[in-house]
């Protein structure tokens, strides 16, 4: 059996019956497009989550104050939940930590010349940039001498630097925070947004002592309270042990009863993002499975179309048999028609899926290996479903009696 004897009639049949061909394509086309789009968008989300995990660092813990307790009840008053003394105790008593960095945070207006911007001001120590490294584009970082002297110096994130100074070099310039002049000593490299939507580039870092005395005041009304402590663990494999050790130390320092709730929270930032990443992966998997159902529906549609085609072309089939076509050639013709429908529908579906991904801004994810694998699997599955669905119509066509096919109308 020569391929041309079956391929040419199959192509001719698809070209002649264009409406039927188009309708048969829809299920396969939309099924493949949905799978490609879902996988690409899921891969793009996964890439962002992975980048966020790398940005946070798999070795970072964050100690945050919870609601303060007052006479056994939760309140916003009472003793401070996390203090500088807690930070010092963690640094001295917990082994395996590379950096311990207490910090304060507040939102305020910053002015430079005739420009102003509402921004996050963070009071930090140099240890903050050891716990969460952040390269500079110009100038110098904050140093211990700045903290010791309560110096009025500021380190600007990329975005606030552009807002206040445009293309000028901010180093050495003056910004006013609550009418207090601060000398800009450096600018940090651009970071963009976190997954929570926070603009990481709209921040100003000043010495923590300066922040407490001149800008942000006392946290929760306490002179030693801090808004959080960032910890960097030397060995990521021991981060859970470090978290447990920090929690035990703080419960002991805060004299927390066995049945009492903690007045602080120890967060493993990367673990939270890893859980979110796994959740995104499972969601992508479920949506892909749902989209795959449309491929099966498309396969059923193609089977119905092929059955109608067999019924309409009985005389053609009978004539071909009468002039010498074998039953195997007749059956293969319908299988090839189904395969061509599948390949054409899959091709259009891939194009639609990729265009949709570009429309949603997920272009970089198209180049990821899992995207290519998903496309191959979608096209392969669509072709398999289509061929299997067309086995019965092709078998029925091959078993037609030539005499009955020619006489029946």
Q: Is 60 exceeded by the pLDDT of residue 69?
A: no
**pLDDT for the residue numbered 244:** 92
Residue 15 or 394, more confident: 394
For position 408, what pLDDT does the model report? 59
Rounded to two decimals, the pTM is 0.61
Buried b (16+ CB within 10 A) or exposed e, 102-137: bbbbbeeebbbeeeeeebbbbbbbbbbbebbebeee
pLDDT of residue 77: 45
Q: How many CB atoms lie within 10 A of CB 8?
A: 13
- The SS3 assignment for 265 reads strand
Question: Residues 290-344: pLDDT tens digits?
Answer: 777 877 877 777 777 777 777 766 766 677 777 777 777 777 777 777 777 778 8
Of 161-175, 251-265, 372-386, 390-404, the range with the lowest mean pLDDT is 390-404
Give the pLDDT score at 11: 60
Q: Got the DSSP string for 137-182?
A: EEE----HHHHHTT--EEEE-HHHHHHHHTTS--TT-EEEETTEEE
Residue 343, pLDDT score: 82
pLDDT, greater one: 210 or 293: 210
Q: What is the pLDDT of residue 70?
A: 44
Per-residue pLDDT, 391: 80
- The chain-wide mean pLDDT, for the chain, equals 81
Check pLDDT > 70 for residue 16. no
Provide the pLDDT confidence category of residue 188 given band limits of 50, 70 and 90: very high
Q: What is the dihedral of CA 66, 67, 71, 73, to 10 degrees?
A: -120
| For residues 121-149, average pLDDT | 93
| Confidence check: pLDDT of 181 > 80 | yes
Mean of pLDDT values over 355-366? 76
Mean pLDDT over 275-298 rounds to 76
Indicate if the pLDDT at residue 359 is higher than 90.
no
Buried b (16+ CB within 10 A) or exposed e, 373-385: ebbeebbebbbeb
What is the percent of the chain where pLDDT is above 70?
A: 79
pLDDT score at 128 = 93
Does 73 score more than 50 pLDDT? no
Residue 15 pLDDT more than 70? no
Give, in degrees to the nearest 5, the angle at Cα 121 between 247 and 157. Answer: 105
Mean pLDDT of 225-234: 91
* Mean pLDDT confidence for 12-30: 70
């Amino acid at each position: 059996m020569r391929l041309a004897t079956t391929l040419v009639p199959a192509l001719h049949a698809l070209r002649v019956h264009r409406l039927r061909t188009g309708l048969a394509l829809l299920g396969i086309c939309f099924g493949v497009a949905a799978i490609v789009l879902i996988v690409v968008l899921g891969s793009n989300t996964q890439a962002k989550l992975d980048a966020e995990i790398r940005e946070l660092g798999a070795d970072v813990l964050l100690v945050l104050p919870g609601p303060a307790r007052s006479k056994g009840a939760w309140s916003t008053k009472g003793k401070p939940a996390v203090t500088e003394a807690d930070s010092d105790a963690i640094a001295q008593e917990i082994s395996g930590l590379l950096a311990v960095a207490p910090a304060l945070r507040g939102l305020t207006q910053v002015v430079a010349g005739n420009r102003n911007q509402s921004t996050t001001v963070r009071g930090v120590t140099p240890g903050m940039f050891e716990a969460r490294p952040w390269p500079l584009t110009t100038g110098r970082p904050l140093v211990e001498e700045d903290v010791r002297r309560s110096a009025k110096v500021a380190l600007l994130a990329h975005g606030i630097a552009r807002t206040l100074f445009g293309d000028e070099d901010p180093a050495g310039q003056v910004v006013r925070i609550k009418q207090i002049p601060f000398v800009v000593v450096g600018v940090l490299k651009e970071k963009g947004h976190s997954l929570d939507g926070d603009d990481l580039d709209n921040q100003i870092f000043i010495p923590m002592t300066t922040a407490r005395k001149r800008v942000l005041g006392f946290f929760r009304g306490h002179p030693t309270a801090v808004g959080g402590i960032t910890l960097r663990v030397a060995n990521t494999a021991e981060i859970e042990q470090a978290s447990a050790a920090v929690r035990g130390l703080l419960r002991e320092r805060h004299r927390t009863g066995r049945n009492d709730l903690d007045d602080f929270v120890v967060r493993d930032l990367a673990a939270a993002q890893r859980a979110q990443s796994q959740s995104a992966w499972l969601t992508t998997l479920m949506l892909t499975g749902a989209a795959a159902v449309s491929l099966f529906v498309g396969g059923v549609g193609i089977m119905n179309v092929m059955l109608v085609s067999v019924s309409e072309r009985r005389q053609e089939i009978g004539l071909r048999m009468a002039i010498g076509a074998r039953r195997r050639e007749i059956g293969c013709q319908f299988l090839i028609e189904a395969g061509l429908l599948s390949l054409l529908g899959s091709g259009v579906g891939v194009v639609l899926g990729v265009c949709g991904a570009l429309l949603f801004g997920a272009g970089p994810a198209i180049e990821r290996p899992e995207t290519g694998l998903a496309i191959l699997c979608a096209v392969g599955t669509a072709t398999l479903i289509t061929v299997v669905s067309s086995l019965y119509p092709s078998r029925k066509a091959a078993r037609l009696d030539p005499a009955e096919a020619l006489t029946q109308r």
